[in-house]
Structure 1
Amino acid sequence: MADFTKTTEQSSRYEALENMPVSVLLANINNEDKTVPLAVGKALPQIEALVSQIVSRMRNGGRLFYIGAGTSGRLGIVDASECPPTFGVPFDLVNGIIAGGDTAIRRAVENAEDDQQQAWIDLQNADISANDTVIGIAASGTTPYVIGGLDKCNEHGILTGAITCNSGSPVALAAKFPVEVVVGPEFVTGSSRMKAGTAQKLVLNMISTATMIQLGRVKGNKMVDMQLSNNKLVDRGVRMIMDEIPVSYEEASEMLVKFGSVRKAVEHYDPKRLEL
């Protein structure tokens, strides 16, 4: 790995940040952030290849796991936790695992990311199988927890992917389907929660959303299987029904209560109101 350079650790393009007015700080951060979608765009072929593999395995009963440490691990957990309410899928279909366990979601756990064996232990505790996909998330591309987990998955015939922000990193080399989004130096040197974190979030959004659409969890452009867990979502569901079929707000509300989801309400619609 002599030719491997961590661009995420290179010195910021900006100097004397403490002397900048707030307006200049914000403008410069914004200018750096604008480069992130362009970097993600260059990785679209890699993302497509990974999503295609995930969809194929999920259609055969497989699940998706994200493993990571620190910010990367937290981003995986955020994406995984949003899939059940957004797409109505089981809570164990998409899983986020962070080095150090749930404690590390809120507070850093010392040396957790340096344990090369723990990710495989964590995955085994989740009953990982050969039908599943494991994506290692590591901005630096060098996190031992992630590398160790991917290596073990490869040994056991489990499909591996990665999301990293350095080219040619150990994490990318360990994954069968790596996604490399090279965003360059951070505004604050080495603070990879910034551009690198944004890039990882964008890629995670793409992976989970494209996968769920391919699995039929979106109709048209609507989240027809979303969980109706609060008043805002119930109102959204009612309006979705109204967009699809010619009923009033009150009728759509009754249908949503009766059938429990936008999809089922629309599917059971009878112009003669026989179902109602």
Structure 2
Amino acid sequence: MDSSPKITLIIATYNAVDWLEKVLYGYSVQNYKDFEIIIADDGSTEETKKLIDKFKENYPVNIIHLWHEDEGYRRQTILNKAIVEANHEYIVFTDGDCIPKNDFLERHAMYAEKGKFLSGGYCKLDMQLSNLIKKEDIISGNCFDVAWLKKNGDLGSSQQRKLASGELISKLLDTFTPSNASFNNCNSSAWKEDLIAINGYDERMRYGGPDRELGERLENYGVNGKQIRHRALCLHLDHARGYKTKESLDANLAIRKETKTKKIIKTPFGIEKL
């Protein structure tokens, strides 16, 4: 783009204060400064509110905490509320267990393009590394250094390649990767007007696939994915996946199949109930 868009960063979270704290340290040292944060909280306890309030006291950008009662997994509902509340034209989505590299938002702003959504990348860490990373490692950027990560834990070859590639190699890898540029929960972005046009997330969906389904409806709308998985990176901290069940995955797959076969653009179960 000729001029960088103003960004609303939406961070989804639920009762993971230790991880969210690390994530917020990551966004405190971004090269790109023209953004706000909305924390989309799916019913966390008071501990999360206290953490956010502490950060609000001395943080470089505005933080908005959106919360609703804990009535089970309702992540898509709070995300839809966050989309509506977003004050800026471009929205970046991530989770409260993903530490951003300091150029994370800069890359999303740089590659934002009308008629596209962006699909970024992440490096999965094991629990040992996830626990080991401290504030100073995030502020300094050491936690993104391959040598530091290998010294302190296990790091797969594909993760090493993502972190160690320079700009030219990263661009080539993004251009020729066989991976589909899908919308993912850790690292994706889109124009607010496009998200509103498709009525946001399908609130029927449970854990495992709601972000992909949103991306598939964006594609049905004519907004295609653009791959930046090697150029915009975050570290995905390890965690349990208590909501993941065969029943929820099967139900989600059925919704996604209908979205694809019927070329559905606007879900009736989204921001507006149609």
TM-score (norm 2): 0.27
Q: TM-score, normalised by structure 1?
A: 0.26
Q: Which has the higher helix share?
A: 1
The higher-RCO structure (CA 8 Å, 6+ apart) is 2
